[in-house]
Amino acid sequence: MASNAYIIANKRAVSSHPHRQPHLPLLLLLFSLFFIGKFDLVSALNYTKYTRKVSNLRLQRIQKHLEKINKPAVITIESPDGDIIDCVHKRKQPALDHPLLKKHKIQRVAPEMPKVKTLKRDEGSGDSKRKEGEDLIWQMWHRNGTRCPKGTVPIRRSTTRDVLRAKSLFHFGKKQSTTINPTRRADAPDVVSSNGHEHAIAYTGTSQEVYGAKATINVWDPSIQEVNEFSLSQIWILSGSFDGSDLNSIEAGWQVSPELYGDSRPRLFTYWTSDSYQATGCYNLLCAGFVQTNSRIAIGAAISPVSQYDANQYDITILIWKDPKLGNWWMGFGDNNLVGYWPAELFTHLADHATMVEWGGEVVNSRANGKHTSTEMGSGHFAEDGFGKSSYFRNLELVDADNSLSSVHDISTLAENTNCYNIKNSYNNEWGTYFYYGGPGNNPLCP
């Protein structure tokens, strides 16, 4: 299939299977001092408590920050969902503002793709008879037919409203740092399991050297109860200590986050940190770090269409691996489309290799009304509901020291509260190692 402006994905017919404007001038900003919140209506979410009196000084600080991250555009594209996509010259992108990347030269030669180890498949063993067909899944901004010219990269423009939804300017675009949950199992990973973060994940052991991971991830649009909650499905590439301040993490997947994006659409996202989410790193291109090379895929842009219950299923394939020659961590998307990379200079432990990979879902449970959130994970259905109803990760793979991809066989699973969200893994010759996961959150058994 030709690799073009579309995001490549797979469309699956249901059967029995085992398994979103430009930043405003300051005068206009002042006009909206008292009513910022009312412009940010997202589904049925209540933004009333986010309506606040904003000082002129704070607006000036926000404007200065936006001028730093919203780089001058060669052309600008308006997306049907309200997003503004700026086509920025690749050498002007935010990444190169990072102090560690002042002398960094954008990698011109494509990295060596991981080799695929051939797996023998027993064609007669599975009972899958569903019709296979590949389709193109668009990002919303593609729909008007305009593309970013060669030599530029598409960057979703950030607005004052985006920043005001965050807890503070410092917190804009960042995951909150957390402390370790003392009740976790001793042998289980715990990236952000405290402060109301809940997971349903599969993970590898910590004794091996890992140089990348891959998976195909089912895309849904889970409902979010509170503006400051989110639901995501992603791959984590990890190294360092979970109980210290030196954890390195590279992450990519899809996410619904009203606070970050101002709507409830699933969006392609990335994240990185080199100090356990304390000060370094951010989502997407909201700080210096990730170097984008692709002119057709916008990180942070909405994915459409998405899977529907008991109907067509759509998934995206994400690959993250370490370039064996230059050491940068690259992200591939869909049919071997290179999106960009995290330079090795950003990291400490990951400058060498990863020690753990996680795949799965995460939500924020703020217990706003004293009850467990009804924010959904995945499709909002538990793992046992299966194909077309539950969300899935399939074809879980790891990259080894020889830059070879192979199916993962030895994984563990973790869900903090299986009455709220759960996970069930399995293996077959078509999907390799896979799992169904997710749940509705609040229900009679999850109060």
Q: Active-site residues: which are they? A: 251, 362
If you compute the radius of gyration of the chain from its CA atoms, what whole number of angstroms results? 21
- Max Cα distance, the chain (Å): 69
Q: Give the E-state strand segments of 274-416 in sequence order.
A: 291-292, 303-304, 313-322, 329-333, 337-342, 356-364, 391-399, 404-407, 412-415
Question: 231 has which bridge partners?
Answer: 256, 363
Candidates 63, 79, 87; CA nearest to 261 is: 79
Distance CA 446, CA 373 (A): 9
Distance CA 44, CA 73 (A): 34
C-beta neighbour count of 138 within 10 angstroms: 16
3-state secondary structure of 297: coil
Which residue's structure tokens are 């952000």? 192
Provide the H-helix boundaries in 242-341: 258-261
Candidates 364, 332, 79; CA nearest to 213 is: 332
- The DSSP letter of residue 284 is T
Write a three-state SS string for 209-238: CECEEEEEEECCCCCCCCCCCCEEEEEEEE
Candidates 154, 161, 163; CA nearest to 94 is: 154
Q: Give the E-state strand segments of 74-210 in sequence order.
A: 75-78, 84-89, 115-116, 132-139, 152-156, 197-203
* 66 sits in which H/E element: helix 56-69
Structure token pair of residue 86: 């700026």
Distance CA 74, CA 87 (A): 6
HSE, CB side, 13 Å, CA atoms: give it for residue 272.
Answer: 27
What's the distance, Cα to Cα, between the start and end of the chain in Å?
A: 47
Distance CA 349, CA 245 (A): 12
